[in-house]
A and B are shown apart, each in its own frame.
Chain A
Amino acid sequence: MAEYKRPESLKKTPSGFCPGCMHSLATKLIAEVIGEMGQANNCVHIVPVGCSTLNLAYWQGDLLGAAHGRAPAVATGFKRSNPDRLVFAYQGDGDLAAIGLAEIMGAANRGENFTVIFFNNQTYGMTGGQMAPTTLIGQKTTTTRNGRDAETTGYPMKMCELISTLEAPAFVARYALNTPKGCKDAKKAIRKAFEIQMAGKGFTFIELLGNCPTNWGLSPLKTLEYMESNTIPYFVPGVYKDKYKDEVK
């Protein structure tokens, strides 16, 4: 018999996300881990720009807003001056892989001791569904009307793969939120990342594959299938780097 209680880091009111949006699911999973670790009063949620800003009215606890793409820079300053706080930046794919590409690569390369949770829904959700660097080849968006074409816009950027080539990062992993199993794996990875951070062992990066039912133009249920047959084969889930895997706890 399992028990389940809604985590305390979520306000008792509905989220601002669209029906079936996995931003809401990701936020809930992070809140569960924070609750299980007893970190609700010690954590700081760095909020970037994108639909994740809806957490400003939903997350119960300390939040810090950053300019578009600059969450890792803000997190760097905050964590360096408050080393005992659990700090995580929660960034979308437009925020992290487009406008904020320099900040994420810099922070990862310096091995900053905080966690980035990267929500990849393959589009700019908040601004109406434009192409993101992560948009799949052939995927229709408001700026790729006939589907993304590699000839003119390049290929979808694989952030876990890129970051795992750097020397400094401690733990890099990707999971998909379209099944309960994926959610459980994601939760374990988030927990591991937070534990590495609290042990002062460096930069951790968790990519969560998610959806945007509103701008994909699919019902929430249909996005689950779309992810299974399109998103997951390209952005393969798994652990990309685990520096301390051989260490006995």
Chain B
Amino acid sequence: MLNINTSLCKGCSYCIKFCPKKILEMGTERNKHGHFFPYITNESDCIACAMCATICPEGAIEISKEETNNG
């Protein structure tokens, strides 16, 4: 499961650039510090490769093993 801590995000877009599945996109909303932040378009395509989390300068992306409840 992918979790973006949007209040830590600074909108650099590095995670979007390096996601091999191209499932991260920049949103249109701003966080309380004025930064745009990304969202995941299709979580079921996420392969949990952690490229996004590795390059995120702010440590804003966390990946855990629990599956999302798609039911």
A contact residues vs B (CB 8 Å cutoff): 1-7, 10, 14-15, 17-22, 24-25, 28, 31, 179-180, 183-184, 220-221, 224
Cβ 8 A contact of B17, one of A10, A28, A224: A224
- B56: A residues at CB distance < 8 A: 25, 28
Bound-state CA distance A17–B35 (Å) is 13
**B13 A4 Cβ-Cβ under 8 A:** no
**B10 A20 Cβ-Cβ under 8 A:** yes
**A221 B65 Cβ-Cβ under 8 A:** no
Total cross-chain contacts (CB, 8 A): 75
**A19 B35 Cβ-Cβ under 8 A:** yes
Distance in Å: Cβ of B10 to nearest Cβ of chain A? 4
B contact residues vs A (CB 8 Å cutoff): 5, 7-8, 10-14, 17-18, 33, 35, 47-51, 53-65
Bound-state CA distance A15–B65 (Å) is 27
**B18 A22 Cβ-Cβ under 8 A:** no
Bound-state CA distance A183–B18 (Å) is 12
**A14 B8 Cβ-Cβ under 8 A:** yes
Bound-state CA distance A18–B18 (Å) is 20
- Known contacts A3-B63, A3-B64, A221-B14; is-contact A14 B57 (Cβ 8 Å): no
- Known contacts A2-B63, A221-B12; is-contact A28 B18 (Cβ 8 Å): no
**B49 A2 Cβ-Cβ under 8 A:** yes
- Known contacts A180-B18, A220-B14, A221-B13; is-contact A17 B62 (Cβ 8 Å): no
**B35 A6 Cβ-Cβ under 8 A:** no
- Pairs across A and B, CB under 8 Å, 10 listed: A2-B50, A2-B53, A3-B50, A4-B63, A19-B35, A20-B10, A20-B14, A31-B59, A221-B14, A224-B14
Cβ 8 A contact of B58, one of A15, A179, A184, A224: A15
**A20 B62 Cβ-Cβ under 8 A:** no
- B50: A residues at CB distance < 8 A: 2-4
**B51 A180 Cβ-Cβ under 8 A:** yes
Distance in Å: Cβ of B42 to nearest Cβ of chain A? 17
Distance in Å: Cβ of A193 to nearest Cβ of chain B? 19
Bound-state CA distance A20–B54 (Å) is 13
- Known contacts A180-B54, A224-B17; is-contact A6 B12 (Cβ 8 Å): no
Bound-state CA distance A69–B59 (Å) is 28
**B12 A7 Cβ-Cβ under 8 A:** no
